[in-house]
Amino acid sequence: MRTGSRSGLPVIVAVHSTALGQAVGGCRLWHYSDWRDGLDDAVRLSAGMTLKCAVGGLGNGGGKTVIAVPDGPRLGAARRAAALRDVADVIESLGGRYATGPDVGTAPADMAVIGEHTRHVFCAPAQRGGSGDSSPHTAAGVIAALRAVCTRMHGSPDLGRRKLAIVGLGNVGTHLARQLSAEGASLVVSDIDPRKQALARELGAGWAKPQGAMTAQVDVLVPAALGGVLTRQIVPRLRCAAIAGPANNQLAEPDVARLLHQRGIVWIPDYVASAGGVIYALAVELRKQDPQAASARVQGIADTVGLLLHTADRTGSDPATAALDLAQRRLGAATRRARHRSEP
């Protein structure tokens, strides 16, 4: 944690794990009434990135950056650029143990600013040598996850016959709404910003307040806003058969996964369904794969979800337990390999 020398803002970088390799995770620029909430966010989100990379089959660990902006007006352009330079300084000081990317509140143009001062950054615009906006790829990965869930529940990956609720119409949520609508799905959409209702009108989708969309009667609920939406209190009120979406850290408490399972609701962990962006960016920028090969890896999320559902059935558990097991096996094996190498 540093107080940015240029911006004066708290810059928090959480490196949760490097067991599988360099830690990666986006840079969140968000308002917090207390910077300690930003610290909690960074730590929790970085742990999610460790799981995301492990289950996604990436040779990377998890991290996260939070620029904790106090409540009040949005940052002006100069202070924002200063904060991004401050982030670059902290990342540079970590010597390659962590690389960042976009997240809530930041975009490829911001990655270009960071990239002027450190090479440990993903998703700068193409003309700056990066893989650009990751949100279409995150959305593609969510769609792959949704197809796998629907194949399991209805015997068909066709989303056109399904009813879905999308809670949050940010970058990823908007891509999802457009694509699902194009496939003929019946949609209820929602956002805290009432202006987003224009998108519902354009797509002919239903509009609801966030709580209404969360508890709508649908095949699949798609959380696509900030985390913590799956609380103990909301579980009894849910009327969906399954939940899969891109919002990070959806569970307000870890135990909610068990409550969902008890209610017979299939929850695909956020770190599984939301991995498309990071899988794509790393395939292109680290492994130098072409866009087709990178997109094919994103589609692999469908196989991962299929495997988790199958494992859950076979062992009488749920996809969340199966995903944690898979992550822990991969992380454990990497830790043992590292220990072995360092022994004399």
157 phi/psi in degrees, rounded to 5: -80, 0
Residue 25 touches ligand PHE, criterion: CB under 6 A = yes
- Residue 225 in contact with ligand PHE, rule: CB under 6 A: no
Decide: is 63 part of the binding site for ligand PHE (CB under 6 A): no
Q: Does 170 bind ligand PHE (CB under 6 A)?
A: no
* Residue 108 makes contact with ligand PHE by CB under 6 A: no
Site membership for ligand PHE, residue 248 (CB under 6 A) = yes
Residue 163 among the catalytic residues: no
Binding mask 261-290 for ligand PHE (x = CB under 6 A): -------------x--xx--x---------
Length of the chain: 344
Residue 23 contacts ligand PHE per CB under 6 A = no
Find the shortest distance in angstroms from Cβ 260 to ligand PHE: 22
Distance CA 274, CA 340 (A): 33
**Single residue of 32, 35, 98, 122 touching ligand PHE by CB under 6 A:** 122
Residue from 50, 65, 134, 190 touching ligand PHE (CB under 6 A): that is 134
| Candidate list 52, 64, 209, 288, residue with the active-site label | 64
Taking the least distance from each CB to ligand PHE, the nearer of 54 and 200 is 54
How many residues in the shown chain lie near ligand PHE by CB under 6 A? 15
- Which residues are registered as beta bridge partners of 70? 32
User: What long-range pairs does 34-43 form, CB within 8 A, spacing at least 24?
Assistant: 35/10, 35/68, 35/70, 37/68, 38/10, 38/12, 38/66, 38/67, 38/68, 39/1, 39/10, 39/12, 39/66, 39/68, 41/66, 42/12, 42/13, 42/14, 42/66, 43/14, 43/16
Q: Which residues are catalytic?
A: 64
